[in-house]
Structures are given as C-alpha cells and as structure tokens.
Amino acid sequence: MGRTPCCDNKNGLKKGPWTSEEDQKLIDYIQEHGYGNWRTLPKNAGLQRCGKSCRLRWTNYLRPDIKRGKFSFEEEETIIQLHSILGNKWSAIAARLPGRTDNEIKNYWNTHIRKRLLKMGIDPITHSPRLDLLDISSILNSSMFQNNSPLWSSQINLSRLLGMQQQSLINPELVKLATYLFSSNQQQKNNPYLIIQQNNVQENQCFDNQVQDQMAPLVQTSQFQDILPFSSDAQLMQFPNMEENLPANYANFSTQNYQMNDYYVPMQQGSCDQFIVEKNDASEATTSTFQSNNTTNLSYQSVISNLSTPSSSPAPPNSTSKYNANSGSCINNNGDDRENMNYCSSMLKFEIPENIWDVDEFI
DNA sequence: AACTGTCGCAACCGCAGCCCG
DNA sequence: CCGGGCTGCGGTTGCGACAGT
C-alpha cells in the first residue's frame, strides 16, 4: 500500500535501548491514561519514540503482569507441546502461558529449546526424530531385512529405498517408516528398551548398558503396569530383578539418574489401528502408551522430566486421552477434541503406519 | 590482562490483517 | 468497495555479557 513507516527517523525519534527515565514516563502515562492509539501516545507522554517502540516496550517489558526469570519445567514442557501443535505461533503460545510474552517465548525457543531438540536428534519443526541423523545402513541391517523376516518375502527393493534417502527427509511417511525400522533394529538385539542417544543418534547401536540397568526398573513397578506395553504378567517376567531395582522414589530417580539427552522407549512391534494415550501424572514424568486393539501391542514412553529441572507435568490430574491414529485427533476423557495428540504425549511424535508391513506403499 | 568467539536477549523491521471513514 | 491507518505478529539484528584461550 506504500504507506510511510511509523518509525522513520525524519522526526529524530530515538531508537535503541530504553532508559529508566523513558520507562518511567511510559509507565506513568499508561497508568494515568491507559494505553491505546500508540501513534499518539509517545507525543502525549513526552517520549521521543515511535508508537511501535512504545507498544513493544510496554507489552514485552513494562507490563505489570509480566513474569520475569527462568522458565520453569512446566512452562518449558508446555511450550514444546504447544509448539508441536501450533508451530511458530508465538502469540498463541504466549496466550497459554500467563505472564510470558511472545517475544520472550520466541527467544527462549530459539536459544534454548530449539538447540536442545537439535542436539537430541529431534527436528524442532516436525518434533520427529531426524532421519538425516540416522544410520541408514543399520536400519537396513535391522531384523526387518533379515531373510527370516516377514519383510524379506515382500521383495523390498533396497536400492530403491537407499535412493530415496534424501527424498525421505521431506516425506513424512518415510520418516515414520524409518523411525519404526530404527526401533526394530534396536529390538533385534533382544533388548526391550531403546535408548536414543540424542547427542549422536548415529551411535544408537552402542547401547548404554549402565543407563539400561538404571532404566529397567522404571517400567517394572506396579505403578506402571497399567500403562506398560506388556499385555500379560508373563511378558513382565522377562525383566530380571524387578523388585530389587525398584527406585524408592521414582521422581528423584527419573530426574537424577538420567542425562537430558536420553530417551527411553520400550517397544514391542505390532500393527496398530488405534491407540490409547495416557498421561501418568503421579510419576512426575510424561508417559504415553499406545496400545493397539489387536493382539499385539506397541508402546512408547518418554521420560521427559529429564529435560531440565525436576518438576511435575502440567497436565491436569487423571487426564486420559484416546488417540485415533487414523484421524490424528486426540480426545481426552472429557470428550474434548484436542487438536493434536502431542498435547498429551510429548515432544516426540510416534506414529505407526496403519500397515507397516506394506513397505512398498511408502516408497 | 587482553583478545576473541559465543550466547542471550531486547529491540527493530517489514509484512499482513483488521478496522473504519 | 476501496484505501489509509493502526495493530499485531514473526523473523532478524545489534550489542552487552560471559566464557575460553
């Protein structure tokens, strides 16, 4: 439209950091007259600033209801969850975080959370594991590609898959597939747990036995049996020393014994049509379970409380949500249709293709 | 102590949408 | 309906603080 910018310098308007005197003038004026009509406000308040600068200073810094200081774990987790739903809609995210401004959240995301997710091997945009960091050869050597695998008979064209490696970076379905293959590769090592070493995902095959030993009891408590992937006591029996290794205090256990870049994903393969997503608040960890309605189960659990500071999950108590894998919608026990399942899971999206064995469909 | 590189945050910039005459 | 003004939003930048050498 070609209108003149409101903040041109032809009037000698001041730019740059605000002084305390300017702040006080702005505060005094707004307290007396309220805000509105930002274009005329600076003149009336005796400020050599443009209205835009005044509005920004007020909304991002001087507003009395602004909460300063470090982000709490609850806030951080909320930001991650909301970002997985809303993307870079900082104002929308800020609207759900009382006292925080969009600018502050945006800065915090770019300087802390985004870097952390990248370091963990998670794409901060898609909130999915980054396929470009996966060792594709180890994926291809996974159980699914052994000649006794059901997939062997499906005549997969491996070179075709390799050729799609780059393209797969932008194909969400292939990302899902690779994620699943990746998990299967870990499972092949007769290990019920998958630790994603987020510092270097390429070294996933180097399983950290120490962490494994620490994590094993995590899922062996009666507290977790209801949300575990294992459908029977017999399956639970495959874990040794389940009573001895039980931590006295799970919350302390989860926050003190793990590195922030470790994820813990017990899995069993299977086809899934529909999942139940649960959040166990008593655990002070975010726990999500995907349970198929078939005979085989698949579960995903993320210990998210190791991100920064020990704290509790922001979700309301007793929140249980059902996630329909086909529609992608997430409905909690109050019947509210959540926009995205990530509200009740965590930063990692785990979606299992409806027909995982039909690999050709993804290529 | 001096220099250099990195990080974090406040502030700026430009664009888009809404409102109103 | 149209155009100008205002506001809000998201991306980017500049600079001070801090860490490392």
Q: Check pLDDT > 80 for residue A225.
A: no
The pLDDT of residue A52 is 86
What residue type is assigned to position A34 of the chain? G
The pLDDT of residue A132 is 60
What structural domains does chain A harbor?
A: 20-62 (1.10.10.60), 73-119 (1.10.10.60), 131-362 (no CATH)
Of A221, A313, A222, A203, residue with least CA distance to A262:
A203
The pLDDT of residue A122 is 81
What residue type is assigned to position A18 of the chain? W
Query: Which tokens belong to A69?
Result: 């200081």
Between A278 and A110, the more confident residue is A110
The pLDDT of residue A13 is 80
pLDDT category at A7 given cuts 50, 70, 90 is low
The pLDDT of residue A131 is 63
From the alpha carbon of A109, which nucleotide's C1' atom is closest? B8
The pLDDT of residue A1 is 33
Q: Check pLDDT > 50 for residue A144.
A: no
Winning range, highest mean pLDDT, from A61-65, A148-152, A253-257? A61-65
The pLDDT of residue A35 is 77
The pLDDT of residue A11 is 60
CA distances from A323 to A28, A65, A315 (A): 51, 36, 16
Q: Check pLDDT > 60 for residue A342.
A: no
E strand or H helix at A197, and its extent?
Answer: strand A193-197
Nucleotides of B under 7 A from a protein CB: 7-14
* Nearest residue, CA→C1' of C9: A91
Rg value, chain A, Cα: 25
Nucleotides of C under 7 A from a protein CB: 3-12, 15
* pLDDT tens, residue by residue, A39-64: 888 888 888 888 888 888 888 888 88
Q: Tell how strand A193-197 and strand A330-332 pair up.
A: unpaired
Distance CA A255, CA A119 (A): 19
Q: Is the CB of A36 under 7 A from strand C?
A: yes
Q: Check pLDDT > 60 for residue A126.
A: yes
Q: Is the CB of A2 under 7 A from strand C?
A: yes
Q: What's the rounded mean pLDDT across residues A242-271?
A: 29
Between A175 and A344, the more confident residue is A175
With pLDDT > 70 as the criterion, what percentage of chain A qualifies? 32
The pLDDT of residue A134 is 54
Beta bridge pairs of residue A277: A321
Query: How crowded is residue A328: how many other Cβ atoms within 10 Å of its Cβ?
Result: 11
CA A97, A99, A102 angle in degrees (round to 5)?
65
The pLDDT of residue A86 is 84
Per the prediction, chain A carries an average pLDDT of 50
Of A349, A333, A336, A308, residue with least CA distance to A129:
A349
Distance from residue A80 (CA) to nucleotide C19 (C1'), in Å? 28
Distance CA A176, CA A126 (A): 12
The pairs formed by A183-189 with CB atoms below 8 angstroms and a separation of 24 or more are A183/A265, A183/A267, A183/A269, A184/A142, A184/A143, A184/A144, A184/A269, A185/A138, A185/A139, A185/A141, A185/A142, A185/A143, A186/A267, A187/A143, A187/A267, A187/A268, A187/A269, A188/A142, A188/A143, A188/A146
Distance from residue A107 (CA) to nucleotide B4 (C1'), in Å? 25
Distance CA A336, CA A121 (A): 32
Between A255 and A49, the more confident residue is A49
Range in A5-19, A41-55, A72-86, A221-235 the model is least confident about: A221-235
